[in-house]
Structure 1
Amino acid sequence: MSTVQRFSKTFFYLALFPAVLVFCAWQGWSWWSWATSPPVPQLSPSEALDTDKTLQIRIPPGSTSKQIGSYLESAGLIRSSNAWDLWARWLNSQNQGVFKAGTYQLSPTQSLKEIAAQISQGSVVQISFTIPEGRNLKQMAAYFESQGFFTAQEFLAASKQIPRDRFPWLPSNLPHLEGFLYPDTYQIASGGITPQAIIKIMLQRFEEVALPIYQQNPQQTQLNLLQWVTLASIVEKEAVIPAERRRIAGVFTQRLQKGMRLEADPTVEYGLNIQQTADQPLTFKQVRTPSPYNTYLNRGLPPTPIASPGKASLQATLNPEKTDYLFFVARYDGTHVFSRTLAEHQAAVAAIRKQRVQQNQGATTKPN
């Protein structure tokens, strides 16, 4: 090959090289644009106008960026997990590549960049949960487990850790936080659902709602904080009709002042971890079973609350009705018969039991 031919060939390749570079860059950019653009969702005709269609995806704690890319690709939220991995590496080089665990509300119409920004900023879904008045720690634990938050055992273990450094008003020598986790509806970021986080926000709500009721009216009661919450928890378990709440609190206050036993069924149930029903009331044996919580056997209040009282029961306990009633027994409609003497009380108990037997007999003999 002559020198001229070799020069011509070399010149040809040199001239071709920029074109190849441009073509490769264009191909790479085309692939990157395709990979990072929102995937076109396969919608049925009825869904074609639903541009707000979103998905919830959970990023477990400890997930790598590669795993997150796989989750997103499998859900149809991004086109390519490889593109995600490249983008995550670039973010990491800019100190922006820390992805946060949690549940995210994402849309197939979002770009890869938008999804990455949302997950790196931790813009998670807010999870709502509700604890009704009168629930105890074991019931809360079972509820949280049923919601998939964490195990019941994890919550019960955390409830025995008393965070007095953050909440110095908590009574000393508490074995657990029974009664001080305020019953309410809460919202918490899905990425922060731990027993400790939930306990913290429930104690904060007690601090905001319940504690001022006591602190602003210290002269209205001779009960200390623990005693106040404990008595309010018993009132919460006994009172079904709001109109009777202050009267029930008044009966218990009277009995305490006279040195009488409270004889409250819910304390026995709590101590034995049982729940009586209309057709299966507490037995004599159960009522006579020793327990620190058995107020049929022990005078005064039990050692801790037996449930989480709501605002109404806390207020009623602080301002009970002035009454000379010393006894009450529940009817089967949620109301109570109140009595001044033991004889009146025993007569009321007998009448209600007789009525229940008659109702059951009528139900069994009712024609088909």
Structure 2
Amino acid sequence: MTDPLRPPNPLRTAPGGSAVPLDRAYDTALLDLDGVVYAGGAAIDHAADSLASARRNGMHLAYVTNNASRTPQAVAAHLTELGVPAAPGDVVTSAQAVARLIAEEVPAGARVLTVGAEGLYAALRERGLEPVDSADDDPAAVAQGYGGPGLEWGRFAEAAYAVARGVPWFASNGDRTLPSGRGIAPGNGAAIEVVRIATGAEPRIAGKPMPPMHRETVLRTGAKRPLVVGDRLDTDIEGAYNGGVDSLLVLTGVTDAGQLLAAVPQQRPTYVAADLRGLLTGQPPVVVSADGAACCGGWTASVRGDVLALDGEGGGADGALDGLRALCAAAWTRAGEGRCGLDAGKALETLGW
């Protein structure tokens, strides 16, 4: 089993390569949902077929989400409706991670002032805790999770009253935004700011990229060679880095090519793919020369002054991806432990990104 306390991955200066398909190289895919499997309630193109193929090839699929609003049963039912068969035990949520964290800190059966949706309430009950709705109910902790657009403003006030009195404050996750079918919407991190501004306090956060979420995932899946699959650098990829495991970034969610090039070390993925079809293939090698130039496929990326330049021509279905991988290697090599600030506009335009 992967050790949740394993040291983070070393500094990554180029995407990795794999001679065998990723669904053969890893035993378990730890898949984010929003922006990876679906967006706005609809399945993302190629997701269902790709996951079905990975499952047939022997890969265990686990769905790991920072969204604490729904129960694992509801998430599994939704996935099944979208053509991605799943059982509740295949789903791991940040609500479960924060519930375990709270249960380790408060007495058994303790009251927890809960601000969120049914997923958070159910996870707390699973740990033997009693959700309550008022700061006057003598809570031993405050738990805050995404409650959806219908969450009443007064719920934040109750949390603020309790936190201001010194009640320990926990949050399922800190995602400031989440993707929807209509665009990017405020996430739980935005709701946390309401209580933080009112109290000046800081919550203990369980969800990605924090270690409690990685621990919860490993405990529930038993993964030995996990691959984190996500669309967000600051949660999915950084969470994999913190857990010392490999990651695959898919470009179907919130991260675009420019943001990927500018990624700081802890947010640089092991692999990059356009979508979940990347699970079914290997990854080409990226070769970096002594002068920092990077080659992948038919492309060569290099730094010229303050510009990331791209030469050559990639062939095949993944030609544009090979160019992006080469650009990542040149950018990350130059940036080292920092963030690349080079102008990549023309190079990305060449690739159609």
Where is the strand percentage greater, Structure 1 or Structure 2? 2
Where is the helix percentage greater, Structure 1 or Structure 2? 1
TM over 0.5: no
TM-score with structure 2 length normalisation? 0.21
- With a CA cutoff of 8 Å and minimum separation of 6, indicate the structure with the bigger relative contact order: 2
TM-score with structure 1 length normalisation? 0.20
